[in-house]
């Protein structure tokens, strides 16, 4: 099967029964603060496709759709606090057309950046099982393979780091690179994997990941990409 064929099959994927159940159950218990948005734009409750510039030099890899974030809106990092932080940062660097990402039809465009994730269906408590990550790996592989100008991959958190190493076509470097905020790992083919703490509320509200620290990471990604 070709990479584009794999990508086309994403929306109908039901391989992980636990996640199919969870992603759909979220639509039946929408928190009050999202009800107006859901009435207007619907509730996605399906696998979330990658989003961004097909000519990207930078791929950002997240963990998974959030239950009432991307699982609700159908676009990566759209409609939750993680996305507020990430898209504001991308906008500061001129990599996004706007600093907010509320719903799928808001006209947001990315420039030189492509966003995907280790897992495409929301997992309970943001905790995927190893078998679910393995089942979803072909979609990540196909997304990365679609980017002919890719220079740098930014992994948000340890699960994304592991997913990229497992998915990378040239194989994993030996010894296996360990995750660490700000660490850089050279992959086969000359692409550089950069690690950052995830942009989740858990990290950004506690100050573990500040906007300034994330800007430092993005600036380094641009430098490594020669942009």
Identify which of residues 38 and 134 has a Cβ nearer to ligand SF4 in the complex.
134
- Per-residue burial over 116-125, b if 16 or more Cβ lie within 10 Å, else e, is bbbbbbbbee
Interacting residue ranges for ligand DU, rule: CB under 6 A: 62-66, 69-70, 76-77, 80-82, 117, 126, 198, 200-201
Binding flags for ligand SF4, 44-73, as an x/- string (CB under 6 A): ---x--------------------------
Please give the structure tokens belonging to residue 148. Answer: 């002919």
Identify which of residues 17 and 148 has a Cβ nearer to ligand SF4 in the complex.
17
Strand partners, 155: 61, 195
Is residue 135 near ligand SF4 by the rule CB under 6 A? Answer: yes
Write the burial class of residue 137 (CB in 10 Å: 0-12 exposed, 13-18 middle, 19+ buried).
middle
Q: Which stretch binds ligand SF4 (CB under 6 A): 8-16, 78-86, 176-184, 206-214?
A: 8-16
Identify which of residues 119 and 191 has a Cβ nearer to ligand SF4 in the complex.
119
Number of residues in contact with ligand SF4 under rule CB under 6 A: 14
Half-sphere exposure (Cβ direction) of 139: Cα atoms closer than 13 Å: 27
Q: Are 133 and 144 in contact (CB under 8 A)?
A: no
Q: What angle do CA 209, 123, 110 make, to 5 degrees?
A: 55
Q: Site residues (CB under 6 A) for ligand SF4? A: 10, 13-16, 19-20, 47, 119-121, 132, 135-136
């Amino acid at each position: 099967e070709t990479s584009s064929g794999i990508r086309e099959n994403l929306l109908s994927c039901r391989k992980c029964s636990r996640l199919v159940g969870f992603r759909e159950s979220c639509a039946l218990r929408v928190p009050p603060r999202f009800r107006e948005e859901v009435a207007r734009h619907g509730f996605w409750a399906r696998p979330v496709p990658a989003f961004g510039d097909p000519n990207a030099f930078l791929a950002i890899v997240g963990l998974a759709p959030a239950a009432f974030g991307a699982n609700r809106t159908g676009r990566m990092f759209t409609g939750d606090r993680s996305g507020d932080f990430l898209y504001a940062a991308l906008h500061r660097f001129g990599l996004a057309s706007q600093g907010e990402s509320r719903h799928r039809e808001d006209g947001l465009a990315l420039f030189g950046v492509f966003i995907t994730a280790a897992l495409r269906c929301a997992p309970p408590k943001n905790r995927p099982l190893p078998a679910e990550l393995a089942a979803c790996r072909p979609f990540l592989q196909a997304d990365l393979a679609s980017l002919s100008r890719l220079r740098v991959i930014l992994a948000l958190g340890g699960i994304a780091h592991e997913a990229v190493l497992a998915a990378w076509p040239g194989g994993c470097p030996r010894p296996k690179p360990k995750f660490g905020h700000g660490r850089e790992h050279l992959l086969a083919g000359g692409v550089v994997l950069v690690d950052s703490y995830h942009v989740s509320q858990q990290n950004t509200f506690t100050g573990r990941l500040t906007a300034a620290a994330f800007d430092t990471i993005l600036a380094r990604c641009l430098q490594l990409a020669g942009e």
